Chains A and B, each alone.
Chain A
Amino acid sequence: MTLETVTVSRVQGIGVYVRGGSLQGTDLVIEGVGTGNLRGPGRFGLWAGGASSLRISNCAVTDIRGTAILAVAVPEVVIEHCRVSKVTATVAGGGDGVVVAALPNGTRSAVILTDISVVGAARMGIAVSGVDANLEGNRAGEANGMTKDGTAIFADAEAQVSGTDAWASFSREETPILLAYSELGQKPGNQGVP
């Protein structure tokens, strides 16, 4: 599926949902998603799971309750030139900006995240786990954890990170955090399949 100059606004559950197939999107705006009640399955601006590829360029994702962008078990992920803001958590969790993760069965992904800005995510700004990730020129900050300190950027040991600016305005900590632990045991939030 190809999306060119597409706006998704005021959606109760998931803005763009991709299960199987592939998605290529340019000039994508997702705003006001997760407007239903706070309970129940996760809600996302963009959810991609089990797809063959996800390529997003030039996007704005804002005012999301849940997770702004989540890709799980997608072999090829390229997200570039995206602005994410105002991501809040639900009762079930979430509050993350951009999360790319592999499934526990070992499915791995080649991930490129370039020029992504996440401001105001409730838990984590950018998180990659279990994937071969290359992060370059990304910025994240003002992550305010609801039950624990927020994390601007989380990357496990398999990620290559360069040119990344992380800053934070945490409720309990004033230091920007760039985590690069594989054994941290901290899961990127809300990666369940809806």
Chain B
Amino acid sequence: MHTTTISISTALALNLEVTMVLGGGSSAVDSKAPRPPRKYAPIMAHPLALGSLMLALAACGVWGPDSNGGSSATGETVTDGGTTADSSSHTVDPPCADGTWSGWAESDGVLQVRVDGDDATGDGSVESPFATVTAALDAVRSQEIVQVAMGPGTFAGPLQLKLGPTSAGRKLVVSGCSEAETIIEGDTGKRTAVVHVLGPSAVTLRRLTTRGRGMPLVVGAGAQAVVEDVLVSNGIAMGIGVLGKGTAATLRRVRVEDITGWKRNEPQGWGIPLRMPT
């Protein structure tokens, strides 16, 4: 018996308007409370949405009632002779090796950023992620807590983390898959941070690597930063700089490696400098 599993990538490849029947892909970014994973079970639960998808697939010859007239698509797996479909197969798989959405068990309420995303057409959903964190932050409105999931791959710095002029009292969480999988890299020079947390934002940065010929991570004046499970490496001048008045930082399970001065034979180069006006 030949088995055909319908995946979202297949549907997209067939130019199906899948997002239309999902009820809008960008609503997730406005959600504060955790919600169930974005799967296609809601499609199946909605007769009209299910019908639309079935018709679209049938028109393309990908799926249809079997020869026996069975047409249930709510089963486990779609088969040529049977009619079982695995609802779990109708998902975009979590991008991280540990099976999470950059540390989150569910994707809803989290803005998705992927190296193969698109800032022009993306909406931050799992089906249509952004390519950069900057674009994701630009799409943020007034959420109290903003969550950004960076998938695996190498992203270009510099990156400024700030929630805009109304960032006071709000919280931004940027999470990657792991130190090994998600890397922010930049050749920014000694005066520019690869990742810069700008006040008065409260930012949590976790599960990634930041590195490059620049200052890998700087927490600027007035910013509150929590850095967890992060590798900072190959920087010049400093690794993680906590600089300026009113700045606070908590570093947990952080490694800082290979930090050099900014000139040849320059003896300076600080791993973690904390400089506060006294």
Task: List the interface of chain A (C-beta within 8 A of B).
Answer: 1-21, 23, 30, 33-34, 36-37, 39-41, 43, 50-51, 194
- 7 A-B pairs whose Cβ atoms sit less than 8 Å apart in the complex: A4-B253, A6-B272, A7-B257, A13-B270, A17-B271, A20-B276, A30-B271
Bound form: Cα–Cα A21–B219 in Å: 14
Bound form: Cα–Cα A11–B234 in Å: 10
Give, as a whole number of angstroms, the nearest-CB distance from A22 to chain B: 9
B278 at the interface (CB under 8 A from A): yes
B158 at the interface (CB under 8 A from A): no
Give, as a whole number of angstroms, the nearest-CB distance from B192 to chain A: 19
Give, as a whole number of angstroms, the nearest-CB distance from A14 to chain B: 5
Chain A residues positioned under 8 Å from B254 (CB to CB)? 3, 5-7
B168 at the interface (CB under 8 A from A): no
B248 at the interface (CB under 8 A from A): yes
B173 at the interface (CB under 8 A from A): no
Looking at the complex, which one of A14, A23, A50 makes contact with B271 (CB distance below 8 Å)? A14
- The size bracket of the interface on B is 20 to 34
Contact B268 A1 (CB under 8 A): no
Known interface pairs A1-B274, A9-B255, A36-B268; 5 further A-B residue pairs with C-beta atoms within 8 A, sorted by A's residue number: A2-B250, A6-B254, A10-B259, A13-B270, A17-B270
Chain B residues positioned under 8 Å from A12 (CB to CB)? 259-261, 266-269
Known contacts A2-B251, A23-B274; is-contact A11 B239 (Cβ 8 Å): yes
Give me the 3 closest cross-chain CB pairs, A-B, nearest first: A20-B276, A12-B269, A40-B267
Give, as a whole number of angstroms, the nearest-CB distance from A82 to chain B: 17
Bound form: Cα–Cα A5–B227 in Å: 12
The majority secondary structure among interface residues of chain B is strand
Looking at the complex, which one of B252, B257, B276 makes contact with A10 (CB distance below 8 Å)? B257
Contact B277 A9 (CB under 8 A): no
Contact A8 B271 (CB under 8 A): yes
B275 at the interface (CB under 8 A from A): yes
B93 at the interface (CB under 8 A from A): no
Known contacts A14-B273, A17-B273, A50-B278; is-contact A3 B251 (Cβ 8 Å): yes
Bound form: Cα–Cα A154–B272 in Å: 29
Contact A16 B253 (CB under 8 A): no
Contact B256 A6 (CB under 8 A): yes
Contact A6 B249 (CB under 8 A): no
In this complex, which of A18, A21, A39 has the most chain B Cβ atoms within 10 angstroms of its Cβ? A21
Contact B272 A2 (CB under 8 A): no
B242 at the interface (CB under 8 A from A): yes
Looking at the complex, which one of A6, A15, A19, A36 makes contact with B251 (CB distance below 8 Å)? A6
Chain B residues positioned under 8 Å from A194 (CB to CB)? 268
Give, as a whole number of angstroms, the nearest-CB distance from B266 to chain A: 7
Contact A20 B271 (CB under 8 A): no
Chain B residues positioned under 8 Å from A16 (CB to CB)? 271-274
B254, closest chain A residue (CB): A6
Give, as a whole number of angstroms, the nearest-CB distance from B231 to chain A: 10
Give, as a whole number of angstroms, the nearest-CB distance from A21 to chain B: 4
In this complex, which of A6, A43, A194 has the most chain B Cβ atoms within 10 angstroms of its Cβ? A6
Known contacts A1-B248, A36-B265; is-contact A17 B258 (Cβ 8 Å): no
Known contacts A8-B272, A16-B271; is-contact A2 B249 (Cβ 8 Å): yes
Bound form: Cα–Cα A80–B267 in Å: 29
Chain A residues positioned under 8 Å from B266 (CB to CB)? 12, 36, 40
Known contacts A20-B274, A20-B275; is-contact A36 B260 (Cβ 8 Å): yes
Bound form: Cα–Cα A27–B266 in Å: 29
Contact B267 A1 (CB under 8 A): no
Chain B residues positioned under 8 Å from A5 (CB to CB)? 252-254
Contact A33 B271 (CB under 8 A): yes
B255, closest chain A residue (CB): A7
Give, as a whole number of angstroms, the nearest-CB distance from A133 to chain B: 23
Contact A17 B274 (CB under 8 A): yes
Bound form: Cα–Cα A11–B260 in Å: 6
Chain A residues positioned under 8 Å from B253 (CB to CB)? 4-6
Chain B residues positioned under 8 Å from A1 (CB to CB)? 242, 248-251, 272, 274
Chain A residues positioned under 8 Å from B251 (CB to CB)? 1-4, 6
